[in-house]
Amino acid sequence: GAGVSQSPSNKVTEKGKDVELRCDPISGHTALYWYRQSLGQGLEFLIYFQGNSAPDKSGLPSDRFSAERTGGSVSTLTIQRTQQEDSAVYLCASSRQGAYGNTIYFGEGSWLTVV
Amino acid sequence: KQEVTQIPAALSVPEGENLVLNCSFTDSAIYNLQWFRQDPGKGLTSLLLIQSSQREQTSGRLNASLDKSSGRSTLYIAASQPGDSATYLCAVKRTDGGSQGNLIFGKGTKLSVKP
């Protein structure tokens, strides 16, 4: 595809359930990012993948959050035992190599509501 | 700790006006600064990327400036149009050891251009 693709676009889940959010980056982009945007808040960094390097997980808010990137392409963000405060838009982005001098392209996000 | 602030939080102008959006950051040690646009329910679109060694970047009716020493950036929009209505976000990439994925975002300025 031409852009970053995320699925599902909307997800409503019950508190305590696990959810998986998927991101398909732009073909050829080695860097992949996950951010979270809560209502009225700025974007919060979650995790960053670059090629075969160990991911930067410093932004993950708790051990209920995890992410993997298979084959250097598709990434899945998993939230276990969801809580209401997890409700947010989860944005994925990709770029050629890293962010130093490269434009970052965002997907349209996965809107998660925990009830 | 790097903090990014955008003032005002919201701005409404009549069509045709030239306008300036402001972004300030607390730590001048940055690699670059990016301006993004976010339409309601959508992801982010990169508008301009300014490297730390640059003073400004231009794209069409948009001009972004960067003054690292004072910790400020401005986004100038000439001859505003209703289609410019969106939330504008700035983000900085720090140099203090954070990974390349760790951009620090402001909370954005919501712009409304009235016909």
Q: Give per-residue pLDDT as tens, B67-89.
A: 999 999 999 999 999 999 999 99
Q: Alpha-carbon distance A99 to B60, whole Å?
A: 23
pLDDT at B66: 97
Residues of A in contact with B34 (CB under 8 A): 103-104
**Closest partner residue to A99 among B43, B93, B106, by Cβ?**
B93
pLDDT at A4: 95
pLDDT at A71: 81
At B106, is the pLDDT very low, low, confident or very high (cuts 50, 70, 90)? very high
Q: Give per-residue pLDDT as tens, A76-88.
A: 999 999 999 999 9
Residues of A in contact with B49 (CB under 8 A): 101, 103
- Torsion sign, CA atoms B64, B81, A92, A71: negative
Residues of B in contact with A25 (CB under 8 A): none
Q: Alpha-carbon distance A36 to A114, whole Å?
A: 14
| Residue pointed to by tokens 């979650």 | A46
A34–chain B nearest CA distance, Å:
9
pLDDT at A114: 97
Q: Alpha-carbon distance A91 to A106, whole Å?
A: 7
Q: Alpha-carbon distance B80 to B63, whole Å?
A: 13
DSSP helix/strand/coil, B83: helix
Which of A28-37, A101-110, B24-33, B76-85 reaches the highest mean pLDDT?
Answer: B76-85
What A67-70 contacts at long range (C-beta under 8 Å, 24+ apart), as own/partner pairs, is A67/A34, A69/A32
